[in-house]
Amino acid sequence: MATSAKILPIFSGTSAAEEVADALASEIRGKNVLVTGTSINGIGFETARAIAKYAALVVITGYNTERSVFLPFIRALQVLVLILPGPGPLGYAYRRRQSIRSSPAPKSARSNLTSPSLAAVRKAAAEVIAYDEPLHVLINNAAATETVSGLTIDNLEVQMAAGHIAPFLFTKLVYPKLQGSRTTDWTPRVVFVSSDQHAAGDGVPLDKETFARGTGAAADDPALGLFARYGAVKSANVLTAREMAKRGASKVRAYSLHPGSIVTNAFSKGFKGALEQLGIIDAEGKPGTVLPFKTLPQGAATTVVAAFDPRIAAHSGEFLQDSVLAEEKVASHSADMARAAKLWELTEDVLGERFEL
């Protein structure tokens, strides 16, 4: 029986990713999914793990070069792992097989990148385009966690590059693969993992220099400056999903979401000092009492909902939180369609190419 023909459970902030995937299993089966930003102990990895239980193909990319922890996961699912160049130094493609023993030896590619390179994004997209399979779902989860200030090799502010500009470019480049999955029964989905911090400040700056270079994002307190930029990036995610939904109409469905506050590897990397200063974590990296924290499986649940829940099909462009639609949580500056259109055009200008849907 198709998922849409049965009564689905009501998900909530305590729902776990695997629980959601189990409920949406018939929607996930046969689908090919790409998840960016799948560092160990991160939301992206947990999302991929939950989806891989049912998906035909799960492609994951990330910055973390310590991937040996994936091996038990790979063996348990009887999959072939291909190590590909991705938006980070490494990317992986998981393919279900009857027996892992019949799989060819993995290929590998390494890079010394510590921040997103647009050349690496193009290389990753070319790998995806070369696959025979279409792409049903793209989950843009990647963000800057290790290097959170400064400029990339492309002279772009690192947080905006990793969290918005690179995902925008990657989505544009693999869009033909997404359209290859479109049928009368399925409209491809693009998911942008944002944050409730999108509401902080005035949203993403829409003058080119501040947007691309971050020259206007500095604050008297460097720690708060990091979060001002983080909020701007997350605002860009919300606006991009809305504009994509408008431009793509019947061709693609796009969503943005707040996963919740979760202790991930970002807490031990670039944001650690700022998080300590704000009292969000202690010196040992343990959660404080400032925010209500979720577990990692709970944090990945909303992404799985955005990617597959048939009940939100008519709500393309909208925002989710706690595994349900939460449009009331969107800040006015991130719901402004004039700003969404301007951001889209500004990003095209920075990249020097159009993204036509």
Residue 67, pLDDT above cutoff 50: no
- Looking at the chain, the whole-number percentage of residues with pLDDT higher than 70 is 71
Closest residue by Cα to residue 86 from 101, 64, 66, 69: 64
- Say which DSSP state 77 is in: H
Predicted confidence at residue 243, as pLDDT, reads: 99
- Confirm if 312 and 323 have CB atoms less than 8 A apart: no
- Confirm if 189 and 253 have CB atoms less than 8 A apart: yes
- The CATH homologous superfamily for domain 14-351 is NAD(P)-binding Rossmann-like Domain (3.40.50.720)
Tokens read off for 23: 């409920």
Q: Which amino acid, 226?
A: L
Predicted confidence at residue 74, as pLDDT, reads: 44
The tens digit of pLDDT for each residue in 150-173 reads: 888 999 988 899 999 999 999 999
- Confirm if 265 and 41 have CB atoms less than 8 A apart: yes
Summary mean pLDDT of the chain: 80
Tokens read off for 320: 């989710």
Tokens read off for 99: 């027996």
Which residue ranges make up each domain of the chain? 14-351
Tokens read off for 303: 């992404």
Closest residue by Cα to residue 66 from 293, 269, 294, 230: 269
Query: Around Cβ 316, how many Cβ atoms within 10 Å?
Result: 21
The tens digit of pLDDT for each residue in 221-276 reads: 454 567 788 899 999 999 999 999 999 999 999 999 999 887 766 555 656 666 66
Residue 341, pLDDT above cutoff 90: yes
- Say which DSSP state 63 is in: S
* pTM recorded for the entire structure: 0.84
CA-based end-to-end distance of the chain: 33
37-46, 100-109, 176-185: which has the minimum mean pLDDT? 100-109
Q: Give the pairing of strands 137-140 and 32-35.
A: parallel
Q: Which residues is 92 bridged to in the sheet? A: 60, 83
